[in-house]
Structure 1
């Protein structure tokens, strides 16, 4: 049984600043790390964590160093992929000591476990909010899947390829996604696409593939489905996802923090 934790959209800013002048994003990421570490004895061995983009708010070296400092206590190995708020050149330098970080080109990588493979893809477009997968990235994905021998696969990228009903965010989703859909739909094993960007737990089909968006660690895109709704954030409780292989892939939404309990439903019955 393989377990993968998905953290998304921490948006770390420099010391003394707030994301969008509203949110202190560092304490929620630190609390996320603490929550994971505290829960490990109950959820079992986690093979890897992935952060699905927007590690930082402005893509500066200071922000990436602060992100790494906040993640350092995590008792699980982790990898990252970029989002639209990231700078892949600065990210590459900031993670230059990691063997999985590509030395050039898109930040794509693959990690195989005994019964699952995790593929990280770079959907970022320099200077833009929307996502796009380059020809090089699509070729990397196809070649990786061709070598999987029907193993269960999680494909991770920042931008979701489907419409969520949040118009302002949907204009910034993945564009030119037909080639991606063909590659994913052609895979004969179990495959799930996991994303970030919208800061909410949302599940939909993309072709014949289940696609799941992860919540953010510190704030959410406001739940407002009116066509003319402005792009707003709400300081809802953060969460992360736990994906695991049992009889197929299942995913758990785990809120960040410490809560009252656990209490037996019927303590007098043992």
Structure 2
């Protein structure tokens, strides 16, 4: 059984002087998320961060982010969101060769696959330079198809920043994963994919994608208002921050838990 924790949409921000203020909301929120992961009775085998690690994608933001994540003893795998800058992100996470492999150019898609306790974690790059929506072109879909084909018998979790299914919130669906048909087509050829996990939504949601369960993760910082009306107000709420924990078995079973950040101790045993 592999335990993969998911953090998302940290939005660590630098101030006017270019430095990250340790007293700021995103910093306090990330510290709480890290503390929450460390307090789990069964610690995760790895942590994946599904994009929007930084607010502006500056070197200072990623340097401070990396330091704030350093108490985590397990491997931490970062991904790009629409607020991130690939080259700067890679410079901060040099301990992962899969993350820093750029091929011939610095802005190569940040996409890679790693093994986590017998489960494969495949991280996709859905970002579109200069835009907030997501998309995977033929080149990226080809990479995903080849990567999945390389381990057809290994239970696999595929991670994206933009969710490939509509969540019903106008503000988010307007910034959606554009034309996910190719993505769904690739997944349909690889039944070992047991879960698709995403960020971007700033709250937990569960959908279906060509027969595969697909989830989004709460933000470690701010949650978006759940407005499912046609007008769809875009607003943050005072709901608690959170994270996700995915359990994947050797037999291909998969379970996802969503938890608020904070060190919640047992109050009493259940009789």
**Both proteins in one fold, TM over 0.5:** yes
Question: Which whole-Å deviations, capped at 9, do the CAs of 1:161-217 have from their partners, x for residues lacking one?
Answer: 111111111010111211100000111224211000001110010122111001111
Q: Please show how residues 243-254 of structure 1 align to structure 2 within 5 Å.
A: 243-246=246-249, 248-254=253-259
**In the alignment, is residue 43 of structure 1 matched against residue 26 of structure 2?**
no
Structure 1 unaligned residues grouped into runs of 5+: none
Q: Counterparts of 2:269 and 2:38 in 1: how far apart (Å)? A: 23
- In 2 relative to 1, CA 153–11 (structure 1 residues): closer, same or farther, beyond 3 Å? same
| SS of equivalent to 1:49 | strand
Structure 2 residue aligned with 1:10: 10
Q: Please show how residues 125-144 of structure 1 align to structure 2 within 5 Å.
A: 125-144=128-147
Counterpart of 1:91 (choices 89, 102, 115) is 89
Structure 1 residue aligned with 2:151: 148
Structure 2 residue aligned with 1:75: 73
TM-score (normalizing by structure 2): 0.90
Question: Which whole-Å deviations, capped at 9, do the CAs of 1:241-269 have from their partners, x for residues lacking one?
Answer: 11112450111112210235331134xxx
Structure 1 residue aligned with 2:189: 186
Q: Counterparts of 2:42 and 2:15 in 1: how far apart (Å)? A: 33
Question: Which whole-Å deviations, capped at 9, do the CAs of 1:49-100 have from their partners, x for residues lacking one?
Answer: 1000000111111111111111111122111110011111222233245312
TM-score (normalizing by structure 1): 0.90
Preserved CA contact (<8 Å) 1:50 1:80: yes
| SS of equivalent to 2:47 | strand
| SS of equivalent to 1:233 | coil
Preserved CA contact (<8 Å) 1:10 1:218: yes
Q: Counterparts of 1:87 and 1:148 in 2: how far apart (Å)? A: 30
CA RMSD of aligned residues (A): 1.9
**Which deviates more from structure 2 when the two are superposed, residues 55-64 or residues 188-197?**
188-197
Q: Counterparts of 1:86 and 1:38 in 2: how far apart (Å)? A: 29
Counterpart of 1:175 (choices 167, 178, 189) is 178
**In the alignment, is residue 106 of structure 1 matched against residue 109 of structure 2?**
yes
| SS of equivalent to 1:70 | helix
Counterpart of 2:263 (choices 240, 258, 262) is 258
Q: Counterparts of 2:191 and 2:226 in 1: how far apart (Å)? A: 35
Structure 1 residue aligned with 2:33: 32
Q: Please show how residues 159-238 of structure 1 align to structure 2 within 5 Å.
A: 159-238=162-241
**Which deviates more from structure 2 when the two are superposed, residues 69-78 or residues 192-201?**
69-78
Preserved CA contact (<8 Å) 2:39 2:263: no
Q: Counterparts of 1:114 and 1:49 in 2: how far apart (Å)? A: 12
Preserved CA contact (<8 Å) 1:118 1:154: yes
Preserved CA contact (<8 Å) 2:46 2:116: no
| SS of equivalent to 1:93 | helix
Q: Counterparts of 2:42 and 2:264 in 1: how far apart (Å)? A: 16
